[in-house]
Structure 1
Amino acid sequence: MNIPAPSGRQYHLARGDQHATIAEVGASIREYSVGGRDVALPFDKEQIAPAYSGAVLAPWPNRLTDGQYTFDGVEHQVPVNEPGRMTALHGLVSHARFTPSSPVSDTSVTLEHEVVPTLGYPFPVRVRATYALTDEGLEVLVTATNLGQHAAPYGVGFHPWLSPGDAAVDDCTIQVDAATRVLVDDRLLPTGTAPLGADDDMRTPRPLAGFALDDAFVEVVRDDDGLAWIKLASPDGRTSAVWMDDTMDTWQVCTGNDIPGIMRRGVACEPMSCIADAFRTGERLVRLEPGASHTVRWGMRLL
């Protein structure tokens, strides 16, 4: 009997000196490198993806208080998968199998998963993710479509861990294009926002030595092309970078200090359409009407 790897079937993409491997489970970016230099922190195909590495986070990213929410007057309870904080973390598809929706090419793959309606999330939503290697880097396009007859609450995020190459994270600097930090309680649930001050403003590169992060940021700053960036610059002169266009406006950044399988070997730089608890607060929540679609775009580069 053939036993599938925990990360599922592997889809290998190549363009010039760029190489990416997209895993079936979670439609995860398992590897992405340029010229043999890791941009994404890789994980072995025989591993369960550590700390949501590279996964699609839908139909909500980040945390949901007690796994409970009310939508259109109906109360819902989804499973709590972070018992220490009593939250439902990162949606329903990060460990689901995605299947190809069109022929796979050498440079791109499109995978999709249909969320099965459950008592906690009784909405049939198809999540389709396209990964393509371009001349500039790895580009990701994700579209959710409501296949049901009723409106559905929706949010999406992604969990790439940027690699520092052969360096240690403490030898790197980080730049985050955002002006405001999301304040949280001891369960890492939002309580408000605050402008970044001199001690935590990362719009200019900041050394990571002795600096721990597990924070969300809003009021993102965009370049002339409409992109917001997070850049992890290493002593080798190269920079691992994540960008998002104007379809998303939230960053989550985590240095993974005490996370098994990560232990500060990389930095999670997560583009998201909303912050934690959006299903409860309605903040940045997408109301996906029957038959409607919602698309976001982001990518990774080695600079």
Structure 2
Amino acid sequence: MRDHGAEDESPSGRQFQLTRGPWRATVVEVGAGLRMLSVDGREVLDGYSRHVGCTGARGLPLITSLDRSPVRTVGTAGTAGTAGTDEVHLPRSQRWICREQSDHHVLLGVDVRSTRNGADCLDVSVEYQLSRSGLTVCTTAVNTGIQTCSYAAAHQPYLKFGSRIDACHLRIAADRYISTDPHSAALTTQASCGSEFDFSSAAAIGRQNLEVAFTGFHRDADGRAWLWLTDRCGATTALWVDQSYPFIEVYTSHTQAPPHFRTSLGVKPATCAPGARRSGEGLLMLAPGQSTSSTWGITAPPS
């Protein structure tokens, strides 16, 4: 495993380069993000250069917690915590500690501390592991504090094919969706079947602007839910989530500035629903000493 180490002056910090069979990945110290992923030389993610910082939370784990509910988003663009709550803040610029590494995996961790008393509240780790069939990512959190805290996790990879996603076909078997468009009046859950967001069979994305969370998945025998993105030549990238992720948010990058405008599909596995700060849907309550893990992955099935 190549590790540029302390001499690396990249804005994203140390670069952990993983390899296994046809797969290559680069994980970074700053934000514990997934900067690059490729298979047989094909770039799977719309990542970023080691010479620039991460934008749009590309490839970043997004952790959410408070010592008391309701919750504040941590590791994303900060929204103010509710008065009377003790926020746990983890900025995107946080440098994570490498706890384990090999040629095909790396484990990064961080202690998330309370801003009020400085005590550890959460120990969070993210493990990236390559196999010959693809990438697996496992996020684990342990409540190391002295009181129960709310917790949720998400991850923000952007899947790409060529320069535009308009010609790609999307498939995700889900019964319901929640619009996450910031211009929507309310976050309401609706049936996917027969709607403009029905991708139970593969359908072209076209010029459609997607900013939606899917739920109610049709899972396989292993409890995994799948999303498939296929280009016009039949090449496919598939993303799966385990049962700890009841939501997958999908975003067509239509509000991104060039050069990222509609170049990729943001696919965010999430353990909680959009708007969980208000509704509490999907938030976990971790007692002192309690832990939780969630796993997702990417593969590239044969055409």
Q: Could you state the TM-score of these two structures normalised by the residue count of structure 2?
A: 0.86
1:67 to 72, 80, 84: 80
Q: How many residues matched?
A: 286
Choose the corresponding residue for 1:168, options 140, 164, 170: 164
The equivalent position to 2:270 in structure 1, one of 245, 269, 272, is: 272
State the match for 2:61 in structure 1.
56
Identical aligned residues as a percent: 28
Secondary structure of the equivalent of 2:44? strand
In the other structure, the counterpart of 2:68 is: none
**Which residue is 1:293 aligned to?**
291
Residue 243 of structure 1, CA deviation: 0.7
Match of 1:30 among 5, 30, 35: 35
1:191 to 173, 187, 192: 187
In structure 1, what is the Cα distance between the partners aligned to 2:122 and 2:87? Answer: 18
SS at match of 1:51: coil
Matched letter for residue 254 of structure 1 = Y
CA distance in 1, matches of 2:179, 2:166: 24
SS in 2 for 1:280: helix
Please report how far the alpha carbon of residue 203 of structure 1 lies from its aligned counterpart in structure 2 after TM superposition: 1.3
Cα deviations by residue, 1:197-229 (Å, 9 ceiling, x for unpaired): 422201111101111111112112212221111
Q: 1:270, 1:122 → 2: CA distance?
A: 30
Structure-to-structure mapping, 1:88-99, within 5 angstroms: 92-99=90-97
2:201 paired residue number: 204
Map residues 43-192 of structure 1 onto 2, 5 A cutoff.
43-59=48-64, 67-69=80-82, 74-75=84-85, 92-102=90-100, 104-119=101-116, 124-164=121-161, 166=162, 168-183=164-179, 186=182, 191-192=187-188
Please tell me whether the aligned partners of residues 21 and 131 of structure 2 are also in contact (alpha carbons under 8 angstroms). Answer: no
From the superposition, tell whether residues 190 and 101 of structure 1 become closer, same or farther in structure 2 (CA, over 3 Å). Answer: farther
Cα separation, partners in 2 of 1:7 and 1:66, compared to 1, 3 Å: closer
CA RMSD after TM alignment: 2.6
CA 1:23–1:288 in 2, change beyond 3 Å: closer, same or farther? same
- Structure 2 segments unaligned to the other structure (5+ residues): 1-5, 66-72
Q: Shift of the alpha carbon at 1:76?
A: 5.2
**Which of 226, 232, 235 in structure 2 is aligned with 1:229?**
226
Distance 1:174 1:40 in 2: 16
Deviates most, 16-25 or 179-188: 179-188
Distance in 1, Cα, partners of 2:231 & 2:77: 34
SS at structure 1 position matched to 2:274: coil
- 1:27-54 Cα offsets, whole Å, 9 max, x none, are 1111110100111222101222121110
Structure 1 residues 206 and 262, CA gap change in structure 2 (3 angstroms): same
**1:223–1:19 distance in 2 versus 1, CA, 3 Å:** same
Gap regions ≥5 residues in structure 1: 79-90
| Contact 1:252–1:270 under 8 Å retained in 2 | yes
1:212-223 matches, within 5 Å, as 212-223=209-220
Q: Distance in 1 between matches of 2:205 and 2:224?
A: 23
Matched, 1:262 2:260: yes
**1:12 pairs with 2:25:** no
Relative to structure 2, which stretch is displaced further, 252-261 or 135-144? 252-261
The alignment partner of 2:56 has SS state of: helix
CA offsets, 1:115-147, max 9 Å, x none?
A: 121259986211101111112210011101111
Contact 2:187 2:275 in 1 (8 A): no
Higher relative contact order structure (alpha carbons within 8 Å, sequence separation ≥ 6)? 1
Moved more, 221-230 or 58-67: 58-67
Provide the TM-score with structure 1 as the length reference.
0.86
